[in-house]
A = this chain, B = another copy of it.
């Protein structure tokens, strides 16, 4: 006998969880569709050089990488961004720009499974590629907001900053070599606190520059006040502060002002980003961290094509999101698997039971047929476990006169000797009442 275990960091999805995941993915898909984003998909398995660069030089141990049957060096995708870059380079001539896509799919990383991280996880990425406009930056913010509102989450706050402002400040301080390290230190602000960041920055770039960097990243107040701080601190970044202003103005015009927070402490560790960067927090659940992050980049697919492809996008981690929704009571778990069940009182009436079920289905109801002539108690208990609120009972006597009995499984009351047409109405009443 083989133990039916799954790999560490991998999970089965039981019906309630999987139905909930599909519900969320459908909601997200519809939200993206409302803005003209179109879906794509790419393979789970790619050439390693595509995912990690030529030679796969500094192979990340977190990547599932192996040699396939044909001796090819292959790897499982570890995010949806790199495959998207490859996709754009490969299909540029078949597409139109700006190209707005969303992509929901599994990705794989053999990382430490502590803190609710999984080795198989579902990402939902959306990007607008082929435009440098503020309009696209703003649309991503708008999209994030609606995506969460579609799922019933009203308390969403998008925190954003501009990488260009940060870089301009460092430049004005003549910091070039240590810039990456400064970013890394600032990124820890929330975790290690202002004093430790001050100490580390001072050691790296000296006291005065450290103070200036801290003034920028810990600026507080209203969006307008923070923008003013930015402008006075980094006068050479007018192009970028103008961009921020445009986004804030649009947010105000669309009634989003209180859900969008200018927050210079957001830097996003990656070199990749060049323009606005953002993270998204649930007001009622700040502890789970950012549920949607992203930013603007200059060149998506430079590894694979000479075509310059600027864009802006964001990524939602579905696993963390689902945990968050459950904690907020916004999950639709324990949904009923069917509206009614046709019980089996007499196995000889099998065909009749299916025919009755089909009549109910034709009326738009979701109907289960119990297949075995078991004790009624067992059949009721089955219905309860599946969350089915109504049962249709029909024995030889009822069948002889073309009637059925309907039982409300919640109130345990019967409506007996009625036609299937009437039964449809009764079931509808039971389902409506149970909502």
Closest to A249 in B: B351
Q: Answer whether residue A175 sits at the interface, using C-beta atoms and an 8 A cutoff.
A: no
Shortest distance from the beta carbon of A380 to any chain B beta carbon, whole Å: 12
Give Cα A45 to B2, complex, Å.
17
Give Cα A30 to B403, complex, Å.
29
Residues of chain B within 8 A of A249, CB atoms compared:
351
Binds B, one of A94-102, A189-197, A230-238, A424-432: A94-102
8 A Cβ contacts from A1-19 to B: 1-8, 10-15, 18-19
Residues of chain B within 8 A of A53, CB atoms compared:
2
8 A Cβ contacts from A186-225 to B: none
Give Cα A258 to B165, complex, Å.
71
Give Cα A347 to B294, complex, Å.
24
Q: Answer whether residue A321 sits at the interface, using C-beta atoms and an 8 A cutoff.
A: no
Closest to A122 in B: B41
Q: Answer whether residue A352 sits at the interface, using C-beta atoms and an 8 A cutoff.
A: yes
Q: Answer whether residue A91 sits at the interface, using C-beta atoms and an 8 A cutoff.
A: yes
Give Cα A49 to B2, complex, Å.
8
Given A15-B40, A385-B96, A386-B36, verify A371-B135 contact (CB < 8 Å): yes
Residues of chain B within 8 A of A305, CB atoms compared:
1, 4
Give Cα A21 to B44, complex, Å.
16
Q: Answer whether residue A416 sits at the interface, using C-beta atoms and an 8 A cutoff.
A: no
Contact call B304/A371, Cβ cutoff below 8 A: no
Number of copies: 2
Give Cα A301 to B388, complex, Å.
27
Contact call A47/B7, Cβ cutoff below 8 A: yes
Contact call A371/B4, Cβ cutoff below 8 A: no
Q: Which of B22, B46, B76, B351 contacts A250 (CB 8 A)?
A: B351
Q: Answer whether residue A168 sits at the interface, using C-beta atoms and an 8 A cutoff.
A: no
Residues of chain B within 8 A of A61, CB atoms compared:
69
Residues of chain B within 8 A of A69, CB atoms compared:
61-62, 64, 110
Binds B, one of A126-134, A275-283, A324-332: A126-134
Residues of chain B within 8 A of A49, CB atoms compared:
2
Residues of chain B within 8 A of A414, CB atoms compared:
none
Q: A283-306 vs B: 1/0 string, CB under 8 Å?
A: 000000000000000000101111
Give Cα A419 to B108, complex, Å.
50
Closest to A39 in B: B18
Q: Answer whether residue A35 sits at the interface, using C-beta atoms and an 8 A cutoff.
A: yes
Q: Answer whether residue A169 sits at the interface, using C-beta atoms and an 8 A cutoff.
A: no
Q: Answer whether residue A372 sits at the interface, using C-beta atoms and an 8 A cutoff.
A: yes
Shortest distance from the beta carbon of A140 to any chain B beta carbon, whole Å: 11
Given A69-B61, A142-B354, verify A371-B108 contact (CB < 8 Å): no
20 A-B pairs with CB atoms under 8 Å apart are A1-B303, A4-B86, A4-B305, A6-B86, A12-B42, A13-B40, A14-B95, A18-B41, A19-B39, A33-B366, A34-B366, A35-B338, A36-B341, A36-B386, A38-B337, A44-B44, A96-B385, A96-B386, A98-B371, A138-B350
